[in-house]
Amino acid sequence: MATHKLLLLPGDGIGPEVMAEVKRLIRWMNERGIARFETEEGLVGGSCYDAHKVAVTEETMAKAKAADAVIFGAVGGPKWDGVPYDVRPEAGLLRLRKDLGLFANLRPAVCYPALADASSLKREAVEGLDIMIVRELTGGVYFGEPKTITDLGNGQKRAIDTQVYDTYEIERIARVAFELARKRRNKVTSSEKRNVMKSGVLWHEVVNQVHQREYKDVQLEHQLADACGMQLVRWPKQFDVIVCDNLFGDMLSDVASMLTGSLGMLPSASLGEVDAKTKTRRSLYEPVHGSAPDIAGKGMANPIAMIASFGMALRYSFGMIKEAEWIDQAIAGTLAKGLRTPDIASPGAATVGTQQMGEAVIKELERVASS
The site string for ligand IPM over 228-257 (x = CB under 6 A, - otherwise) reads ----------------------x-------
Instruction: Give the total of residues touching ligand IPM (CB under 6 A).
Output: 5
Considering the complex, state which of residue 290 and residue 358 has its C-beta at the smaller distance from Mg ion: 290
Closest to 55 measured CA to CA, from 14, 15, 83, 13: 83
Decide if residue 12 touches ligand IPM (CB under 6 A). Answer: no
Considering the complex, state which of residue 94 and residue 349 has its C-beta at the smaller distance from Mg ion: 94
Distance CA 330, CA 55 (A): 35
Cα 266–267–268 angle (5° rounding)? 125
The site partner of 303 among Mg ion, ligand IPM, none (C-beta below 5 to 8 Å per kind) is none
**Residues in 276-295 that interact with ligand IPM by CB under 6 A:** 288, 290
Decide if residue 41 touches ligand IPM (CB under 6 A). Answer: no
How distant, in Å, are the alpha carbons of 123, 129, 196, 251 from that of 226?
Answer: 24, 21, 11, 10
> Least distance to ligand IPM from the beta carbon of 75, Å?
6
- Binding segment for Mg ion (CB under 5 A), chosen from 84-92, 226-234, 250-258, 324-332, is 250-258
Stretch (H or E) spanning 15: helix 15-31
* Other residues' Cβ atoms within 10 Å of the Cβ of residue 233: 14
The site partner of 90 among ligand IPM, Mg ion, none (C-beta below 5 to 8 Å per kind) is ligand IPM
Decide if residue 286 touches Mg ion (CB under 5 A). Answer: no
The site partner of 117 among ligand IPM, Mg ion, none (C-beta below 5 to 8 Å per kind) is none
- Binding segment for Mg ion (CB under 5 A), chosen from 40-48, 247-255, 262-270, 344-352, is 247-255
Amino acid letter, 59: E
Considering the complex, state which of residue 107 and residue 340 has its C-beta at the smaller distance from ligand IPM: 107
Decide if residue 171 touches ligand IPM (CB under 6 A). Answer: no
Query: Closest-CB residue for Mg ion?
Result: 250
Distance CA 119, CA 32 (A): 36
CA atoms within a 13 Å half-sphere pointing along the CA-CB vector of 311? 25
> Least distance to ligand IPM from the beta carbon of 144, Å?
14
Query: Does the CA dihedral 233-181-95-319 come out positive or negative?
Result: positive
> Least distance to ligand IPM from the beta carbon of 284, Å?
10
> Exactly one of 7, 43, 93, 174 binds ligand IPM (CB under 6 A); which one?
93
> Least distance to ligand IPM from the beta carbon of 342, Å?
22
> Exactly one of 39, 40, 79, 90 binds ligand IPM (CB under 6 A); which one?
90
Give one DSSP letter per residue of 41-106, joined into a string. Answer: E---THHHHHHHSSSS-HHHHHHHHHSSEEEEEE---GGGTTS-GGGSHHHHHHHHHHHTT--EEE
Decide if residue 245 touches Mg ion (CB under 5 A). Answer: no
Using a CB cutoff of 8 Å and minimum separation of 24, what contacts does 82-86 make?
Answer: 83/46, 83/49
> Exactly one of 12, 250, 328, 343 binds Mg ion (CB under 5 A); which one?
250
209 DSSP assignment: H
> Least distance to Mg ion from the beta carbon of 35, Å?
30
121's CB contacts (< 8 A; 6+ apart) are: 233, 236, 259
Cα 74–97–251 angle (5° rounding)? 65
Query: Closest-CB residue for ligand IPM?
Result: 90
Considering the complex, state which of residue 261 and residue 333 has its C-beta at the smaller distance from ligand IPM: 261
319's CB contacts (< 8 A; 6+ apart) are: none
> Least distance to ligand IPM from the beta carbon of 303, Å?
18
Give one DSSP letter per residue of 156-202, joined into a string. Answer: -EEEEEE----HHHHHHHHHHHHHHHHTTTSEEEEEE-TTT-HHHHH
Give me the active site residues, please.
142, 193, 226, 250, 254
> Least distance to ligand IPM from the beta carbon of 286, Å?
7
Considering the complex, state which of residue 68 and residue 250 has its C-beta at the smaller distance from ligand IPM: 250
In the complex, the residues that contact Mg ion under the rule CB under 5 A are 250
In the complex, the residues that contact ligand IPM under the rule CB under 6 A are 90, 93, 250, 288, 290
